[in-house]
Chain A
């Protein structure tokens, strides 16, 4: 780098942005770092918001990625409660919501995604909420408790985690899902059926194929959810978890290539060589599937933070990863590796009735994805097989009496 004190600006102080800042210092970057975030607090882990944090098993300190003093100690100028208004790529400046502006040599866009709001009457009532930020979670925690009624709109992972935590807190929970099965966009039918039964046994009620048309309220606070069939389900709070939209507008307006996410290469670099995009906002290549897509997961945020920090500090790029994610509900540990692209066969290993099984998604004799319930060996070995593309014997994979190490041998 020709500039003796290059300035890296990071827009977004979530898991991706916070990790990129820390890694730049860990990799010996000596220039200035400014990190701007629209939330009032320093980067923290979002996954526990619907799980341990909601149940009171984690506090703000354990949620934080780093202690607040870390940023000052490492020369990272962290500016909370500020958002970027516009990006001028020619002048390499960013206009901020507090009226100031920042110049950058290198920019990292880590603005994440925002929860999609339902465009229906009553969606602005108090008690109708998303679960994306610590502030959302705090609001939910204050509302949900013994005897309270919680409506969850959307039977995806967030919805199911909230349902499980809601039950743990003693609330009555109903999940309203538009599709005819749970996890319709993200998991196979075996898993949908399993999760529905597991939740029902623990007192969660489901309305599948249910179209939510509005929220009713009293004194500005939600009191019920109205369905297309005319029924109203009473509730004290409603959590809406129907997906997220990438915060890509700033990049789009500045002329960067976007495609439901900011388009980047394997270094997390955008169509402008001085600008990187990482985490939920990035539309990135995934060589093992020979395609590009956008992911919303912590491992993806960490991986791309690593890619950008390596590229900026001149380190070799990290070796290609297998995407993965996890979910905790009750005593269930779900670990997912890969994505079920181009799958022609599904193999269930183990018996779902025992709450210990794995679903393998195959393309020919290669593993594309695995969903493992309380089955770490299946997850760990499945993840390796996805990465190596090594063929497996389907018969052996389907036989739980043969260990995963032997299956892969």
Chain B
């Protein structure tokens, strides 16, 4: 179990508990956190679950796979901390994780 904070571009924070094994995307979608569309449900096929991982957490969330990287490459407003949240698995390690959602997923 991990407590994850999702922050919208306007600063609105959503703090939710997410079970281990789910993805950071699923944590948002199942709790109706706005700003993460996740059209494909986690198949790494759409790049609509783009988030910015807080700099303090980038080491723990790890690096994107080649497939994820090439999807991210075409998302809007990509930064070095960009990830597809469907590809980050939640574990105790990520308790306290902070991610920010972009202005748009499309």
Contact = CB atoms under 8 A, between A and B. Distances in A.
Interface in B58-106: 67, 70-71, 73-74, 106
A37 interface: no
Contacts of A335: 45
Contact of A376 (B22, B34, B41, B67): B67
Interface string B25-63: 010011110100101110111110000000000000000
Nearest to B67: A376
Contacts of A66: 29-30, 32
A35 to B, nearest CB: 15
Interface residues of B, number: 22
A25 B70 contact: no
B30 A377 contact: no
Contacts of A64: 30
B57 to A, nearest CB: 23
Interface stretch (A126-134, A210-218, A272-280, A319-327): A319-327
B65 to A, nearest CB: 11
B32 A47 contact: no
Given A62-B22, A299-B46, A380 B71 contact: yes
A381 B26 CA distance: 26
B46 A324 contact: yes
B32 A70 contact: yes
Give the interface size class of chain A. 20 to 34
B45 A62 contact: no
A319 B45 contact: no
A384 interface: yes
Contacts of B44: 333
Interface string A324-352: 10101000010100000000000000000
A270 to B, nearest CB: 24
A377 B34 contact: no
B106 A377 contact: no
Interface string A264-302: 000000000000000000000000000000000011001
Contacts of A324: 46
Contacts, number: 57
B74 A299 contact: no
A380 B74 CA distance: 6
A333 B66 CA distance: 13
A74 interface: yes
Interface in A64-116: 64-67, 70, 74
A372 to B, nearest CB: 10
A48 interface: yes
A22 interface: yes
B13 to A, nearest CB: 16
Interface in A33-75: 45, 47-48, 62, 64-67, 70, 74
A180 interface: no
B15 to A, nearest CB: 16
Given A319-B106, A381-B74, A26 B32 contact: yes
Q: What are the 4 A-B residue pairs with the smallest beta carbon separation, nearest first?
A: A380-B74, A326-B45, A376-B70, A45-B41
Interface of A: 22, 25-26, 45, 47-48, 62, 64-67, 70, 74, 298-299, 302, 319, 321, 324, 326, 328, 333, 335, 376-377, 380-381, 384
Interface of B: 22, 26, 29-32, 34, 37, 39-41, 43-47, 67, 70-71, 73-74, 106
17 contacts: A47-B40, A47-B41, A47-B43, A65-B30, A67-B30, A298-B40, A299-B39, A299-B40, A319-B106, A321-B106, A326-B43, A328-B43, A376-B67, A376-B70, A376-B74, A377-B70, A380-B74
